[in-house]
Structure formats: C-alpha cells, structure tokens
Amino acid sequence: MRVRMLLFPRPTASGPAARPGLQRFLIGAAGVCLAAVSVIVGCRALGIDGVTPVPQLLAFLPWLLVPTAAALVLTALLRWRTGVVWGLVVLAATGWFVRPYDAGSYGTEAMGATTSTGTGSGSGTGSGSGAGARGPVVARIDVLTSNVEFGQATPALVTAIRREKPDLVFVQECDSVCVRLLTARIPHADYPYRNVVTSGVGEAKGSVILSALPLTDTEGIKGALGMPGSRAVIGGRTVQLQLVHPMPPLPGGVDLWRDELGVIRTYAAGRKDAPLILAGDFNATRDHAAFRDILDAGRLRDSSVRGGAGRTPSWPADVPRPLGAQIDHVLISDDFSVRDARFLDLADTDHRSLLVRLELRARS
C-alpha cells in the first residue's frame, strides 16, 4: 500500500509539476505513447500514409489498441485527468478504424459492422457474398496467390496446388529455380498456360501466373519486381488478370512503394468495366490510403473481406494469429461474387497464401 501511494498518490492542487520524479517520468512515458498513436491514427483519419515509421505502423493498426489501453490505465492510476481524456479519445478513434470491414464497400467506406472476420485458422465461409454482382453465374473459378519467399516455399506450393486444384495461381518471388520446379512438378496438362516474368531487382524478383484456362499475355504493370498480366476468356467473358507485387515500404523506400501502388491504381482505374482480378502481395493493408485508392479507382472489392476473412493476417507467417498484417489480397470487380476465402500456411515462407473461390456473373 505504501508503494502504491508513492507511485499513485491522490492529486494535489499543485498539479503534475509537483509530483515526485518517478510519477513525472511515468506521465511522460504515457504521454509519448499517446502522442505516437495519435499521429498514426490521425494519418489514418486524414487518409494519408505519411513518412517512416507511419506507413509501417499503419499495417499493424489493430495492435495499437494494446499500448493505447496500457497508457490509459497508467494515466488513470496516476490520476492524470488530461491523460485519461486523451487516452479515451485515442482508444475510441483507434477502435473505430479497426472495426470489421464492410464487405460491400470499396476503399472509401473502409469499415462497417456487417462482416465477420476470419476464424482462428484463417478460413472464412462466405455466403456467396455478391454485393454489386448481378446476372446469372457463368463460371466458377478458384484463385490462389502465394509469395514463396525467394522461391524457398515452391515445394510446399506444389503440394498446395495439387491438393486445392485452383484454376489460377499467382506466384510472387519466384526465381529461376522456382520456375524450374513448377515446370517439373506441375503437370503441363493441368496448367498448360503460364506467364513467367523473371526480370526485376534483388532476391524478391520473379513472378508467375499459372492457369488451367487459356491465357493471352498482356504488357502487365511495370515495377521493380516484375508484375505480369494476362487475359482469359472465362464463361464467355474476357477477364483481365494482373499479378501485383510492389516494393515494400522500407525506411528510405516509402516513395517508391507509394509510386508503384500509384501505378497499380492507374491500371485499376483504366479497366473500362471489364472483369478484373488483381492478385498478389500488395505490401499494403486496408489501413493504407494508397491501397484504398486502388479499391476506389477500380471500383474493386477485397475478396478476403467478402469471404469472411477480412482481418486474418498473412504476414509475417511465423507470428501467431491474430498478430501480423494482411498484405496479400485478391481484388475483384463487381462482376464476381465470393463463395469462400481462406488463408493457407505453407512451409518455408514468411507469407500465408490466399485461396478464394469466385463466381463470375453475366453482364447485367
């Protein structure tokens, strides 16, 4: 009790300045914590990604609830009234932005209360979420996207492809060894159509689109890591397919990250109402303004949200759920509805793979 009274005595008329040194230190620590979270949440509210370390911390926005709550408890124990009010405001603002996403929204309407998040196993059982999709179903297709981390997880990906049998597979960080393994271990009869890009910079270069459906290669999107594009005729409709893998927002590289997401946004905006699937490692979450701009520009929706796995993390895979950030996405136009979305754990990669089961509908 005596220690508690020394740390958390009743307030005096002199205010915080007259408190013992340890109390002033604790108040200062709580204030720094609340100030840091306030900056990040403020950027989220203003729709800007800011500079390092804001873009990096925005990826983990839900987990800022923990230091905010801890700071609030500390200010309450210290009876620092200004800090208590500040903490309540920051906690409420953070909680507002980490609510479950709205399955029917683009990027601007980031949140809602109508969508359940993924389960602990990373699976979602979507109810054919087809907000915006009209017309009869003309085809059902399964799409898998996987970052194999410098090709290391290629054997595990081969196993997943054989088990799940997706129609389309988008592979990132697929180097020359990865390409050879896919060629040797994935029967050409199952995936006769392949769009391979091995150009790029660094160990993360190289991307592949595998398809059981006929493909016509397109120019794709220019980027440091290589992002191939294709067209496929599915159910009588021509569907644009684009693999996405921009550079990550590393310290000193945020401008390049923002520029490459801007190129993807321009591509999405120019789709001219054609059915579109954008799949890959976006190195961005729904809490990044640059990612929401892509959704808005192309009138796209995130299939994991519509499939019931909207807050399931995909990176880093070695941390326990629900820790981590969801940076792997399959974005779809309103021509599609989602039957199911779930994340798969593969060995030897820092990413979880995303498998979505889609329905393509006739033009309304």
User: Where are the alpha helices (H) located in 79-201, listed in sequence order?
Assistant: 81-97, 154-164, 176-185
Which residue matches tokens 């983990």? 60
Residue bearing the bigger pLDDT, 107 or 302:
302
Q: Is residue 115 pLDDT above 50, yes or no?
A: no
| Cα angle: 144, vertex 148, 151; to 5 degrees | 135
Residue 125 has a pLDDT of 44
What confidence tens digit (pLDDT) does each residue in 161-174 have? 999 999 999 999 99
The pLDDT > 90 percentage for the chain reads: 77
pLDDT for 349-363, tens place per residue? 999 999 999 999 998
CB atoms within 10 A of CB 156: 18
Mean of pLDDT values over 243-259: 97
Say what the pTM is: 0.88
The greatest distance separating any two alpha carbons of the chain, rounded to the nearest whole angstrom, comes to 82
Tokens representing residue 166 in the block: 């997706």
- Helix (H/G/I), strand (E/B), else coil: 62: helix
18-51 pLDDT tens trace: 678 889 999 999 999 999 999 999 999 999 999 9
Residue 226 clears pLDDT 80, i.e. is over it = yes
**By percentage, how much of the chain surpasses pLDDT 70?**
87
The chain-wide mean pLDDT, for the chain, equals: 89
